[in-house]
């Protein structure tokens, strides 16, 4: 699929969306000291847009004349790129807008996509300034390719687009509880993990999924039904210009999942995490097999009953991507195309790409190659 790659033009006009509050608050300084000189060498002209508040980047890219820019660069954590993706998807011309190559430079405390892209490029595992240098070098080279997104729908009617992961329970609690330690940089997650371990709790709900490949336990009860009009209701307006891509694998949240889905028998979890990139954080290699456009949601869940020691062991092993080798009976992994999570109570925090989401029933499916990203 050679034509899926492209290269940024020279000279290159880059709009850099930069969150000065991200990470330890040094994104602007680091940009000027590390990034700017390298971009100048590579004939990339950077126009910096400093965000003043949450949602600022979302509004900027939703309303921007994109023909002025060859790439939209985010210098922050994953949260700001999440705003950019969803701002672009709100545009009436989203299909055209999503062809604009995006780029992530790690300026935040949670830089999972930057760490993943560094890993896909075959670079050594690095963090902090070295990761920033590697990602800036990747931007200087200017190669870009397609990336999958996951469309998430909530019971209250929200439709969100996610490039990194959806979480519930322990991992999401760590993510949100540790935001007060953002000044620690990536170490905020280590401290947060230890704190959340101390008050370890169980989350009740039902998890269902559509496996990527048919399960080994024989043929499904009902073969997957082709999506035809009338059978699975498509969102109103499908096909009209500007309408969002339909979730052809999902049925409305009010209805049971289709018969060929798998429903997890256990209904008590420590965490559920659906990840679509390799890294959950700079030092957490959660899905070593994940790639930018593998058409796959890597679904992990931890069943209730796991001890604190075993849980800690899993997180320590995740630094090397070796957590599945522990063969812990409480840790489950399945590659899927779609999933649904129905929490029993509005308890616990949910996160999308590290950003908090009100706890309610959610389902999602992968949309292959929906955007473009600068990669190594
Ligand atoms: P980090 O990895 O440090 O969490 P993120 O990029 O995820 O960095 O950003 C965290 C949050 O900061 C996002 O929700 C974003 O909307 C918000 N944000 C963006 N600009 C600002 C600003 N100027 N002040 C405060 N918050 C901001
Ligand atoms: Mg964040």
pLDDT tens, position by position, 82-109: 999 999 999 999 999 999 999 999 999 9
Q: What is the pLDDT of residue 346?
A: 81
Please indicate, yes or no, whether residues 141 and 170 belong to a single structural domain of this protein.
no
Please indicate, yes or no, whether residues 227 and 364 belong to a single structural domain of this protein.
yes
Interacting residues of 54 by C-beta distance below 8 A, sequence separation 6+: 83
Domain end: 114, 149, 184, which one?
A: 149
pLDDT at 372 over 80: yes
Q: What is the pLDDT of residue 230?
A: 38
Confidence of residue 139 (pLDDT cuts 50, 70, 90): very high
Domain end: 132, 149, 166, which one?
A: 149
CA of 26 to the centre of ligand 1 (A): 12
Residues 142-199 have pLDDT tens digits of: 999 999 999 999 999 999 999 999 999 999 999 998 989 988 888 889 899 999 998 8
Residue ranges lining ligand 1, Cβ < 6 Å? 19-23, 51-54, 56, 76-80, 83, 108-110, 182, 354-355
Nearest-CA residue for atom 6 of ligand 1? 77
Answer yes or no: 65 catalytic.
no
Please indicate, yes or no, whether residues 128 and 247 belong to a single structural domain of this protein.
no
Please indicate, yes or no, whether residues 163 and 288 belong to a single structural domain of this protein.
yes
- Which of the ligands is closest to the CA of residue 23? 1
Please indicate, yes or no, whether residues 119 and 161 belong to a single structural domain of this protein.
no
Q: Of ligand 1's atoms, which has the minimum distance to the CA of residue 79?
A: 7
Interacting residues of 66 by C-beta distance below 8 A, sequence separation 6+: 72, 97, 100
Please indicate, yes or no, whether residues 199 and 80 belong to a single structural domain of this protein.
no
Please indicate, yes or no, whether residues 134 and 172 belong to a single structural domain of this protein.
no
Which of 79-83, 182-186, 220-224, 325-329 is the least confident region?
220-224
User: In three state form, how does the secondary structure of 25-44 look?
Assistant: CCHHHHHHHHHHHHHHHCCE
Q: Catalytic residue among 78, 173, 175, 353, which? A: 78
Q: Is 187 a domain residue?
A: yes
- Cα(374)–Cα(141) distance, integer angstroms: 9
Residues 41-75 have pLDDT tens digits of: 999 999 999 999 999 999 999 999 999 999 999 99
Is 202 exposed, middle or buried, given 0-12, 13-18 or 19+ CB atoms closer than 10 A? middle
- Number of structural domains (the chain) is 2
Residue 99: how many CB atoms within 10 A of its CB? 13
CA of 353 to the centre of ligand 2 (A): 8
Confidence of residue 221 (pLDDT cuts 50, 70, 90): very low
CA of 22 to the centre of ligand 1 (A): 5
Q: Of ligand 1's atoms, which has the minimum distance to the CA of residue 74?
A: 6
Please indicate, yes or no, whether residues 50 and 119 belong to a single structural domain of this protein.
yes
Please indicate, yes or no, whether residues 132 and 199 belong to a single structural domain of this protein.
no
Please indicate, yes or no, whether residues 309 and 241 belong to a single structural domain of this protein.
yes
Structural domain for 145, as ranges: 2-149
Q: Is 376 a domain residue?
A: no
Q: What is the pLDDT of residue 320?
A: 95
Q: Is 22 a domain residue?
A: yes
Q: Of ligand 1's atoms, which has the minimum distance to the CA of residue 80?
A: 6
Q: Of ligand 1's atoms, which has the minimum distance to the CA of residue 20?
A: 23
pLDDT at 231 over 70: no
Q: How far is CA 8 from CA 69, 118, 191, 238, in A?
A: 11, 18, 40, 33
CA of 335 to the centre of ligand 1 (A): 30
Pairing relationship of beta strands 12-18 and 268-275 according to DSSP bridges: unpaired
Please indicate, yes or no, whether residues 139 and 218 belong to a single structural domain of this protein.
no
DSSP secondary structure, 216-245, as one string: SSSS-SSPPPP--TTTSPPPTTTTSTTPPP
Please indicate, yes or no, whether residues 77 and 219 belong to a single structural domain of this protein.
no
CA atoms within 13 A on the CB side of 76: 27
Domain end: 91, 123, 149, which one?
A: 149
CATH assignment at residue 74: 3.40.50.10330
CATH assignment at residue 241: 2.60.200.40
Nearest-CA residue for atom 24 of ligand 1? 53
Nearest-CA residue for atom 22 of ligand 1? 53
């Amino acid at each position: 699929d050679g034509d899926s790659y492209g290269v940024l033009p020279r000279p290159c006009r880059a709009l850099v969306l930069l969150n000065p509050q991200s990470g330890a608050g040094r994104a602007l300084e680091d940009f000027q000291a590390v990034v700017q000189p390298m971009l100048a060498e590579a004939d990339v002209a950077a126009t910096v847009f400093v965000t003043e508040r949450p949602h600022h980047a979302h509004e900027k890219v939703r309303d921007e004349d994109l023909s002025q820019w060859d790439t939209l660069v985010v210098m922050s954590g994953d949260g700001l790129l999440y705003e950019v993706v969803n701002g672009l998807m709100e545009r009436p011309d989203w299909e055209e807008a999503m062809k604009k190559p995006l780029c992530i430079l790690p300026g935040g405390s949670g830089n999972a996509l930057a760490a993943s892209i560094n890993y896909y490029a075959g670079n050594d595992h690095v963090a902090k300034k070295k990761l920033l240098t590697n990602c800036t070098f990747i931007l200087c080279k200017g190669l870009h390719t397609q990336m999958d997104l996951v469309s998430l729908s909530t019971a209250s009617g929200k439709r969100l687009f996610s490039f990194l992961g959806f979480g519930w329970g322990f991992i999401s609690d760590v993510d949100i509880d540790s935001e007060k330690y953002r000044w620690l940089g990536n170490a905020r997650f280590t401290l947060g993990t230890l704190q959340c371990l101390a008050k370890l709790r169980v989350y009740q709900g039902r998890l269902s999924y559509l496996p990527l490949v048919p399960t080994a336990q024989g043929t499904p009860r009902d073969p997957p039904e082709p999506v035809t009009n009338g059978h699975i209701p498509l969102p109103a307006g499908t096909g009209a210009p500007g309408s969002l891509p339909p979730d052809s694998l999902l049925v409305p949240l009010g209805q049971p999942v289709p018969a060929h889905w798998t429903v997890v028998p256990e209904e008590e979890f420590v965490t559920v995490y659906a990840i679509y990139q390799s890294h959950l954080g700079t030092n957490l290699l959660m899905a070593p097999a994940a790639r930018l456009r593998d058409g796959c949601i890597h679904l992990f869940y931890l069943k209730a009953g796991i001890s604190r020691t075993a849980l800690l062991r899993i997180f320590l092993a995740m630094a090397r991507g070796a957590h599945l080798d522990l063969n812990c009976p409480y840790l489950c992994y399945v590659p899927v195309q779609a999933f649904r999570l129905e929490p029993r109570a509005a308890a616990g925090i949910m996160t999308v790409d590290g950003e908090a989401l009100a706890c309610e029933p959610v389902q999602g499916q992968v949309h292959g190659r929906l955007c473009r990203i600068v990669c190594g």
